[in-house]
Amino acid sequence: MGRIFRDIAIGILAIAVLAAVPHLIPGKAFQDFVIRCSSMALFATSLNLLVGYTGLSSFGHGLFFGLGTYSFALLMQRTGISLPMAFIATLLINAVTAVAVGAICIRLRLIYFAFVTLAMQMLMHSIIISWVGLTGGDQGLQGGIPRRVVAGIDLGNQYNLYIFAAVVLVIGLLIMRHIVNTSFGTSLRMIRDNEARASFLGIVVWRVKLTVFVLSAVFASVGGIVMSLFVSGAYPELINWPISGDAIFAIVMGGVGSFLGPTVGTMILLLLNDVVTRQTEYYGLALGIIILAFALGLRRGLLDFITERLGGRPAGGIS
């Protein structure tokens, strides 16, 4: 119990600090950064539930991020429901989709799992591109997101959206942290380390895998909702396969074994993007070199590297 209270206290402190920062630093770039960071960090951490904790390398996790942006934006544009209702409905849509996709994928192993999840994402991308009447096709969902007011707070205002994104990020991370610290989380690690042994110990492997697949899809869609609010719409690039690659890069750079690794990785990735894009048009080349440095130099993510240097063992407990 103590651990939960400690985590919650850290979360509240983080929100308080973030809420104060814009009053100290003028300029809105930091707020934009945190909003995007919140979206991508939720997405990357949700993927790490599969990759780091369960040993399921999904290459198509962007499906749920993108589906989150599209279902939320469409619900806000096409129906009269309020933002919180659209938020919950988006999570439900993603959960149902994840059950269907997961039921097909989770029985597959290793590279087959990776490729079928990728295929599922590309299928969804094709549907979105082709269903022009609903999604706007390759032009994206245009016209903005209406009614961004929750309990009298207008999320169209940048500072409000910034606080909203920070709160959603902290709550999302707290829940995911709680999940990996429960006995369910232990089952995930057992499956990752030795699936046969977990099965002999009475764990119904497929059920645990499907549950974590659905949970991670739901958290990815929360990231999608934040992105949808940031861009005020939804675009096919947000559900195309490179977005899954971004989440994988974030995990690789931040550290697969540390709970906050993907969040740190997201910060590195976004900082690199923002700084490098300002300096050069060879962003891909710069990013590639830096990832190589991580892979060959540190041979693990930054947070894993630091944790090990300090003599600890990454919280994910990679054995």
Partner 1 sequence: MKPTEPTRRTVLTGAAAVLAAPHIAGAQAKAVRIGMQATFSGPLAQSGITHRNAIEMEVDRINAAGGLAGRPIEMVYRDSKSQPQEAARVARELVNSDGCEMLLDAESSAGSFAVQEVVRDLGVLCIHSSSETSSLTADPKYRVASAFRSSRQGIHDAIVGGAYAAKVADARKLTKWATCSPDYAYGRDTTAQYLEYLKHFKPDIEVISQAWPKLGQPDFTEVITKLIQARPQAMYTALYGGDLTAFINQGNIYALFSAMQVFSVNLADYTALTAIKNLPPGIATGNRYVVTCPDTVANRDWGEAYRKRFNEYPTNWSWQSSTGMRFYEGAAKKAGSADPKKLAEALRGLTIECPFGVDGTVTMRAEDQTVVGYAIGWGTTLTKPPYVADVKPADWGTIFELETEWKKRNGFI
Residue 140 CB, nearest approach to partner 1 (Å)? 4
Q: Is residue 306 within 8 Å of 294, Cβ to Cβ?
A: no
List of residues contacting partner 1 (CB under 8 A): 27-29, 32, 36, 129, 132, 137-140, 142-144, 156, 158, 227, 230-233, 235-238, 273-274, 277-278, 281-284
Q: Which is nearer to partner 1, 235 or 305 (CB)?
A: 235
Toward partner 1, which CB reaches closer, 2 or 27? 27
Pick between residue 206 and residue 283 the one whose CB is nearest to partner 1: 283
Q: Do 210 and 106 touch, CB atoms closer than 8 A?
A: yes
* CB half-sphere exposure, 70, CA atoms < 13 A: 28
Q: How far is the CB of 145 from partner 1 (least distance, A)?
A: 8
Minimum CB–partner distance for residue 239 and partner 1 (Å): 11
What CA–CA distance (Å, rounded) separates 41 from 152? 27
Q: What is d(CA 146, CA 142) in angstroms, rounded to the nearest whole number?
A: 11
> How far is Cα 169 from Cα 182, in angstroms, rounded to an integer?
20
Q: Do the Cβ atoms of 110 and 195 come closer than 8 Å?
A: no
Structure tokens belonging to residue 231: 């861009």
Nearer to partner 1, 198 or 269 (CB): 269
Nearer to partner 1, 5 or 281 (CB): 281
Nearer to partner 1, 183 or 281 (CB): 281
Q: Tell me how far CA of residue 176 lies from CA of 17, 90, 142, 296, in angstroms.
A: 21, 18, 33, 30
From the list 65, 44, 96, 57, the residue with the least C-alpha distance to 209 is 57
Identity of the residue, 139 or 182, whose beta carbon is nearer to partner 1 in the bound complex: 139
Q: How far apart are CA 277 and CA 271, in angstroms?
A: 10
User: What is the Cα–Cα distance from 297 to 264, expressed in whole angstroms?
Assistant: 18
Shortest distance (Å) from residue 203 CB to partner 1: 39
CB of 233 to partner 1, least distance (A): 6
> Smallest distance from the beta carbon of 268 to partner 1, in angstroms?
17
**From the CB of 168, what's the least distance to partner 1, in Å?**
17
